[in-house]
Chain A
């Protein structure tokens, strides 16, 4: 039971570098999302997708891009990393949007931008 898999688990970047955080789920979930977790602020929604080919912005989308070419994968791209993007990133999925059952989370990716 892989569930939601995130890679890498740790990454250090220099300001201005680009990278992609990978997220894959094997539960055939239509809905996928990215959150960031900062100290003292809980988790905040960055982007989400309600199905392949459909994405939309969450609460804090600036500096991040996403795409959803398949049901399984939902990568998060940082085009030009900034120190303010130092955070722990979580990918989460559920059966579909509007379904208020369990949201399944990955194990998180800790990103440090120097």
Chain B
């Protein structure tokens, strides 16, 4: 069975600084997808970034980038130039490749507070 672990329940960062959120996972699958979702106080789950395990290049979306270490089963999220609007709960999630269920396995989340 797959598991996703986020070991940082809460983090804080000053506006305009950089912060890294950690995520590790466990799987015996060789091909899979990893995601970071953002959940602001509005509760809406918003996809931040997506990484395909067979791609060695780390995914990047504007100020958001990941450090994907497949051998170490690590998938951290780096947020550069943090903004007040980045304040949210961040979830790391795993999905098997070509899953018949499209089931996402979520971590327990990291609450990020961006301070002015």
A48-B91 contact given A43-B106, A102-B47, A108-B43, CB 8 Å threshold: no
Q: Could you give, for residues 13-57 of chain A, a 1 whenever the CB lies within 8 Å of some chain B CB and a 0 otherwise? A: 000000000000000000101010000111111001010000010
Residues of B within 8 A of A (CB): 4, 33, 42-47, 50, 52, 91, 95, 97-104, 106-109
Q: Which of B50, B95, B101, B102 has the most CB of A within 10 A?
A: B102
Are B91 and A100 interface neighbours, CB within 8 A? no
Distance of A17 Cα from B95 Cα, bound (Å): 35
Q: How large is the interface on A (under 10, 10 to 19, 20 to 34, 35 or more residues)?
A: 20 to 34
Distance of A107 Cα from B97 Cα, bound (Å): 26
A66 to chain B, nearest CB (A): 14
* A-B pairs under 8 A by CB, number: 64
Residues of A within 8 A of B43 (CB): 88, 107-108, 110
Residues of A within 8 A of B (CB): 31, 33, 35, 40-45, 48, 50, 56, 58-59, 88, 90, 92, 94, 97-103, 105, 107-108, 110
Distance of A58 Cα from B103 Cα, bound (Å): 8
Are B99 and A105 interface neighbours, CB within 8 A? no
Residues of B within 8 A of A35 (CB): 104
Are A103 and B108 interface neighbours, CB within 8 A? no
Residues of A within 8 A of B46 (CB): 105
Are A59 and B45 interface neighbours, CB within 8 A? no
Distance of A88 Cα from B102 Cα, bound (Å): 20
Distance of A48 Cα from B45 Cα, bound (Å): 18
Distance of A99 Cα from B44 Cα, bound (Å): 21
Q: Which of A31, A48, A105 has the most CB of B within 10 A?
A: A105
Distance of A42 Cα from B103 Cα, bound (Å): 13
Which of B47, B98, B100, B103 is within 8 Å of A45, CB to CB? B103
Distance of A92 Cα from B45 Cα, bound (Å): 9
Residues of A within 8 A of B4 (CB): 42
A-B pairs, top 9 by smallest CB distance, nearest first, are A42-B106, A105-B45, A108-B43, A43-B106, A100-B33, A98-B98, A42-B108, A102-B47, A45-B103
